[in-house]
Structure 1
Amino acid sequence: MNATLPPDVRLRPLTPADSLELLTSLLHQAYASLAAQGWNFTAVDQPVSLTAKRVSAGQCLLAEQLDAQGAARLVGTVMVRGPYRPGVDAWTLDAPCYNEPGTAILSQLAVHPDCRGLGLGERLMDAAEDWARTEGYTAVALDTALPAVALRQRYERRGYVQVGDVQWEGKTYRSVLMRKALSAAVPAVEA
């Protein structure tokens, strides 16, 4: 898809110097509209300690919006990692597509409410899928709330297909498991 970002927005990987408090705050703000619908996504109110645990397991990408002076404000994020490892990762549960070798897992996609509609979510997903492809994964899986029709349709437009559903412990909704096969990277054309 490779959506074009506004010129004042840049994507980059999370670094140890980044504030997990700010990242957690962004997640809370971005997921507040889902919480208002009664869906208790983990990112609605997760503590900083859980943010730290989740970002330590893979690649966390950040979107920053730059002001006229070049100061950056965190406006988006996405997490992508390899498959869950039974006996090692706590979140294996009953989601076989999350345990498949070759399948990366996309989670915590978030865009600040005042930056929606700029194509930032699409670009974050592009970047996560690109990371997975570069790391040798052949598919990406994710889940979302079954009643979140708009989110499911968004993922379907990107090529994700429903492969199952699951009731995560403590959630007020059933989740749809979705998976997308990744095409091989297109080699760069040399001049």
Structure 2
Amino acid sequence: MPTIRPLAASDCLTELTALLHASYASLAAQGWNFTAVDQPVDVTRDRLAGAQGFVAERGGRLVGTIAVRGPKPAGEAYIGDPSPPLFTTPGTAILSQLAVHPDCRGLRLGERLLDAAEAWARAQGLTQIALDTAEPATALRRRYERRGYVTVGSVQWRGKTYASVLMAKPLAPAERREA
């Protein structure tokens, strides 16, 4: 079973970028030009700046990833576009770059990566978690809906072949353990 762990400084961003390309290839085949379809390594690095990355590792190979961060400062761009207000709302965590290598689908890695990201956001005291995905990607949207995410808006990112939905879910506070 793959191990989920925080992204380490020693992890190879070239390998992580190749994982993103492999994972998003099926979406590209449907005509959706998600950023992760063909982003260069420097974009992977930029998208991880200020975020907590998590990876799934199996046999020394990266087979899954996700990034989560707190809200963006007002006026900060999101992949070259102005951030939607949802992504700058205080208390909001932002998910991005969820990917599972096609060879490892069906192992619940996506769920485990989402669990890790949501737990991190809760531990930071963030009160909701948000993401965006392609409006026509109904299977992806259903996956998030099963986890409690609801559609709260839409956005048309510059240069994308699809409209995106913005989805959010409230986060229960992290449980405090009595000493």
**TM interval, short-chain normalised:** over 0.9
Name segments (4+ residues, structure 1) moved above 6 Å: none
Letter in 1 for 2:73: R
Contact 1:166 1:177 in 2 (8 A): yes
Q: Distance in 2 between the 1:107 and 1:82 partners? A: 12
Q: Is the aligned partner of 1:32 residue 2:19?
A: no
Distance between the aligned counterparts of 1:118 and 1:147, measured in 2? 25
**Aligned pairs (5 A) from 1:1-191:** 6=1, 9-66=2-59, 72-87=60-75, 89-91=76-78, 93=82, 95-188=84-177
Percent of matched pairs sharing the same residue: 63
Higher deviation after alignment, 92-101 or 146-155: 92-101
Q: Distance in 1 between matches of 2:12 and 2:163?
A: 32
Residue identity in the other structure for 2:154:
D
The DSSP-based 3-state class of the residue aligned with 1:64 is strand
Provide the rounded CA distance (Å) in 2 between the counterparts of 1:98 and 1:76: 24
Q: Which runs of 5+ in 2 are unaligned?
A: none
Contact kept, 8 Å, 2:66 with 2:117, in 1: the verdict is yes
Q: Give the aligned residue type for 1:47.
A: P
- On the 8 A contact 1:29/1:113 being kept in 2, the answer is yes
Matched positions, count:
177
* Residue pair 2:20, 2:36 contacting (<8 A) in 1 also: yes
Secondary structure in structure 2 of the residue aligned to 1:74? strand
Residue 52 of structure 1 aligns to a residue whose secondary structure is helix
CA RMSD of aligned residues (A): 1.3
Secondary structure, counterpart of 1:147 in structure 2:
coil
Q: Does structure 2 conserve the Cα–Cα contact (< 8 Å) formed by 1:94 and 1:166? A: no
Residues 188, 54 of structure 1: CA spacing in aligned structure 2 closer, same or farther, 3 A cutoff? same
Deviates more, 1:135-144 or 1:9-18: 9-18
Deviation at 1:44?
0.3
Conserved? CA contact 2:77–2:83, under 8 Å: no
Q: What letter matches 2:155 in structure 1?
A: V
Structure showing greater radius of gyration is 1
